[in-house]
A and B are shown apart, each in its own frame.
Chain A
Amino acid sequence: MQRTIANAFTTKDAKDTKERQRNLVSRASPDEVRDRGLQAFPSFVTFVSFASFVVKALALSVAAIACAQAEDKLRVGLMLPYTGTFAALGNAITNGFKLQVEANGGKLGGRAVEFFTVDDESDPAKATENVNKLVKRDRVDVLVGTVHSGVALAMAKVARETNTLMVIPNAGADEITGPLCAPNIFRSSFSNWQSAYAMGREVAARKHRTVVTLTWKYSAGQQSVEGFKEAFEKEGGKVVKELTLPFPNVEFQPFLTEIAASKPDAVFVFFAGAGAVKFVKDYAAAGLRASIPLYASGFLTDGTLEAMGDAGQGLITTLHYADGILNPQNQSFRLRYAKAYKVQPDVYAVQGFDAAQLLEVGLTAVAGDVSKRAELVKAMETAQIASPRGTFTLSRAHNPIQDIYLRKAEGKENKMVAVSIKALADPARGCKM
């Protein structure tokens, strides 16, 4: 690369100089030449070639310096949603990641970080093209992304093919740390199975025998329901009906009527964002909150409680993060985050922060030398991450082994009630690592 730039400079410059000389000779009329003085002409040419030599030499050294600097920086590619429904999540992850990098003086593993950013728009159709922009065009050393599971699957595929080091700061698709697991792919967030599995045990422990589930017909929802069902039925419960509706449809009324007609002991749902707000409000308005308790994976009430108003109060959920976790790293993280960005951090900010922490451990072990991949991966695999959610380690499939919290919605917070399951590991079914 360095040589090509230098060569390009030389040839272009040489051509320019020759052209200039030719122009001087051909365009200057005999009179002009006479005016300048015949004696002066050769020395002028010498001067031009000398000047061009100086310029060339300067350009060469500048190019060399620029290249050397670029080689020194660690190229980190952030592929996250910055527009669309998940824009707020993408920004929180970016903020969390940068908070950790800036705490290190803008460095990871002792190397200055240069960020390359792509807005993935949560669009799986554009995912491969977008990830190639980072991997092939920007030649990033590390790939960080993303929120949407479908996009993350496409990213993981490219990362596997090109053997790019990748950290997923949200997308919970079970496959990524299941059948598609790879030595170079890590996750700092959760698997869909994890938080739902914890809820399955909780609901069974509350002596509910029959449950109706409802979710969007897409992987995050269906994998959550499967995780819930696995734990709930293992404890002797029975999922009597599994209702689904197309993503992102929010006309819930027919399903509420179905639920009311089948009268289960409890209802388990997976919804997030705007759909979650509408569902919780509809569920309350239909009078079901009073008769059939509602349980959910924690994404139902994260970032949505304000919009839910009274309907959201008292909702019981499970997730790998909660408000009011009392450990020093959480308190320090929340303080620093609020100071830097003037907003309170959420679970997504934590996941972004931990993605950077995980990379910091790996890169420090190899003193920033990404070419020592085996050592780097080993360090990350054995890392103990002092996360705001509580310290976690990684499973053999590179998914966090983490505490899942039981939470209750109070005001705008998901207050921690208890640790639901300590150090819960995703079973990583189908992972051959």
Chain B
Amino acid sequence: MDLPTFLIQLLNAVQYGLLLFLVASGLTLIFGIMGVINLAHGAFYMVGAYLAFALTGLTGNLLFAILLGIPLAFAFGALLEWLLYAHLYKRDHLEQVLLTYGLILIFEEGRSLLFGDDVHGVDVPALFAASIPLTDTLSYPVYRLVISAACIALAAGLFLLIRRTKLGMVIRAGSHDRDMVQALGIDIDRTYRIVFALGVALAAFGGMLAAPVSSVYPGMGNQVLIISFVVVVIGGIGSVTGALVASLVIGLADTFGKVLVPEYAGLAVYLVMAAVLLWRPEGIFRRG
């Protein structure tokens, strides 16, 4: 592999990793901070992608669709939390798995009823439709770079929110001792509702951003769900920093696995996961 090819592959890896982070960060927030195993997280990603498809059809531009879609997804998340998830915090993991697995089935069936089982495409916004030539044969689509930029901005925003704001402080405190925070007179239920809605909005935003490059199809959430769980486990449950690092590690493992050892490309990601867990059983950035 010559140097330009290597650099482009590195770009591919980082770009894929950042997209993973977008979905996994929401999962780690809900899973780590609220203690809920949310199998339906992939379904929220799918909801986002289908929202992008439907709203782009209505508004004619993906950017408008995203602007409209994020508040919708946030509201949807808050509603779901109030209706279902709020009853789960004190239950054991088996009941959480049952409910959230049931939600996957309901979302899939609803998707089938509303949109059918065909594959749909979403157009890249005209503003970003160009490509930048990198070598004489290969160019890089601007939209992919935009996705990366959006992911980086979002990661920075999340860090500020969790480290520097009062809400972030309450979230961090609540993840350690829910009852104590409540005893101090803070409405922890409201905080949790916001965190959950935020997680849903993040997953949906991931789906909306990815819709033009990945297309919109049945079962798209399940693929993302598994790899997101891998990211959360490697990064350390509940750690947003960990999710970012783990996403990049997985991006690298997947990309270079495919290029260097194509025979075992499917295994590369899981070998990395096994190695990390042997080294640090609680993930790279353990909480606490």
Tally inter-chain residue pairs, CB-CB below 8 A: 118
Report which of A260, A306, A309 forms a contact with B137, defined as CB distance below 8 A: A260
How close is B49's CB to chain A, nearest CB, in angstroms? 11
* Residue B217 lies at the interface, judged by CB distance under 8 Å to chain A: yes
A263–B137 contact, CB under 8 A? yes
How close is B11's CB to chain A, nearest CB, in angstroms? 9
| B218 CB contacts on chain A under 8 angstroms | 84-85, 87, 274
* Residue B140 lies at the interface, judged by CB distance under 8 Å to chain A: yes
A253–B138 contact, CB under 8 A? no
* Residue B241 lies at the interface, judged by CB distance under 8 Å to chain A: no
How many residues of chain B have a CB within 8 Å of chain A?
47
A307–B137 contact, CB under 8 A? no
How close is A368's CB to chain B, nearest CB, in angstroms? 35
* Residue A255 lies at the interface, judged by CB distance under 8 Å to chain B: yes
Which one of B73-81, B112-120, B169-177, B191-199 is at the interface? B112-120
| A85 CB contacts on chain B under 8 angstroms | 117, 217-219
How close is B251's CB to chain A, nearest CB, in angstroms? 9
The docked-state distance in angstroms from the alpha carbon of A112 to that of B140 is 60
Given contacts A217-B266, A254-B255, A258-B259, are A281 and B121 in contact (CB under 8 A)?
Answer: yes
Which one of B2-10, B157-165, B279-287 is at the interface? B2-10
Report which of B117, B137, B140, B215 forms a contact with A281, defined as CB distance below 8 A: B215
How close is B21's CB to chain A, nearest CB, in angstroms? 15
The docked-state distance in angstroms from the alpha carbon of A244 to that of B116 is 30
B119–A273 contact, CB under 8 A? yes
| A256 CB contacts on chain B under 8 angstroms | 138
CB-contacts of B139-193 with A (<8 A): 139-141, 143-144
* Residue A6 lies at the interface, judged by CB distance under 8 Å to chain B: no
For B20, give the chain A residue with the smallest CB separation.
Answer: A251
CB-contacts of A269-291 with B (<8 A): 273-274, 277-278, 281-282, 285-288, 291
A287–B131 contact, CB under 8 A? yes
| A281 CB contacts on chain B under 8 angstroms | 121, 212-213, 215
The docked-state distance in angstroms from the alpha carbon of A85 to that of B222 is 12
For B257, give the chain A residue with the smallest CB separation.
Answer: A254
For B264, give the chain A residue with the smallest CB separation.
Answer: A246
Given contacts A281-B215, A307-B120, are A288 and B16 in contact (CB under 8 A)?
Answer: no
The docked-state distance in angstroms from the alpha carbon of A263 to that of B135 is 11
Report which of B9, B143, B214, B223 forms a contact with A254, defined as CB distance below 8 A: B9
A244–B262 contact, CB under 8 A? yes
B214–A261 contact, CB under 8 A? no
A277–B119 contact, CB under 8 A? yes
Report which of A255, A260, A292, A304 forms a contact with B135, defined as CB distance below 8 A: A260
B214–A250 contact, CB under 8 A? yes
Report which of A249, A251, A288, A308 forms a contact with B138, defined as CB distance below 8 A: A288
Q: Is the interface of A mostly helix, strand, loop or mixed?
A: helix
Bitwise, B19-45 to A at CB < 8 A (1) or not (0) is: 000000000000000000000000000
* Residue A243 lies at the interface, judged by CB distance under 8 Å to chain B: yes
Report which of A273, A285, A287, A292 forms a contact with B133, defined as CB distance below 8 A: A287
The docked-state distance in angstroms from the alpha carbon of A285 to that of B140 is 7
| A54 CB contacts on chain B under 8 angstroms | none
Bitwise, A83-121 to B at CB < 8 A (1) or not (0) is: 111011000000000000000000000000000000000
A251–B16 contact, CB under 8 A? yes
| B219 CB contacts on chain A under 8 angstroms | 84-85
The docked-state distance in angstroms from the alpha carbon of A256 to that of B131 is 14
The docked-state distance in angstroms from the alpha carbon of A263 to that of B1 is 13
The docked-state distance in angstroms from the alpha carbon of A217 to that of B262 is 10
A88–B262 contact, CB under 8 A? no
A307–B121 contact, CB under 8 A? yes
B137–A292 contact, CB under 8 A? yes
B112–A288 contact, CB under 8 A? no
For A260, give the chain B residue with the smallest CB separation.
Answer: B138
* Residue B276 lies at the interface, judged by CB distance under 8 Å to chain A: no
The docked-state distance in angstroms from the alpha carbon of A248 to that of B220 is 10
A309–B265 contact, CB under 8 A? no
A291–B258 contact, CB under 8 A? no
The docked-state distance in angstroms from the alpha carbon of A326 to that of B104 is 45
| B116 CB contacts on chain A under 8 angstroms | 88
A277–B215 contact, CB under 8 A? yes
The docked-state distance in angstroms from the alpha carbon of A308 to that of B212 is 10
* Residue A257 lies at the interface, judged by CB distance under 8 Å to chain B: yes
* Residue A400 lies at the interface, judged by CB distance under 8 Å to chain B: no
| A292 CB contacts on chain B under 8 angstroms | 137
Given contacts A246-B265, A307-B121, are A285 and B258 in contact (CB under 8 A)?
Answer: no
Given contacts A251-B254, A307-B215, are A286 and B131 in contact (CB under 8 A)?
Answer: yes
| A253 CB contacts on chain B under 8 angstroms | 12, 15-16, 144, 255
For B140, give the chain A residue with the smallest CB separation.
Answer: A286
B112–A87 contact, CB under 8 A? yes
Report which of A245, A248, A274, A304 forms a contact with B265, defined as CB distance below 8 A: A245
| B12 CB contacts on chain A under 8 angstroms | 253-254, 257
A286–B121 contact, CB under 8 A? no
* Residue A303 lies at the interface, judged by CB distance under 8 Å to chain B: yes
CB-contacts of A287-319 with B (<8 A): 287-288, 291-292, 303-304, 306-309
12 A–B contact pairs at CB < 8 A?
Answer: A217-B266, A245-B258, A249-B266, A250-B214, A254-B9, A254-B256, A261-B1, A277-B215, A286-B131, A287-B133, A291-B137, A306-B118
Known: A85-B117, A256-B138. 5 other contacts (CB 8 A): A87-B117, A253-B15, A285-B144, A286-B138, A306-B121
Return the 7 tightest CB-CB contacts between A and B, nearest first: A287-B139, A260-B138, A246-B266, A274-B217, A307-B121, A285-B141, A253-B12
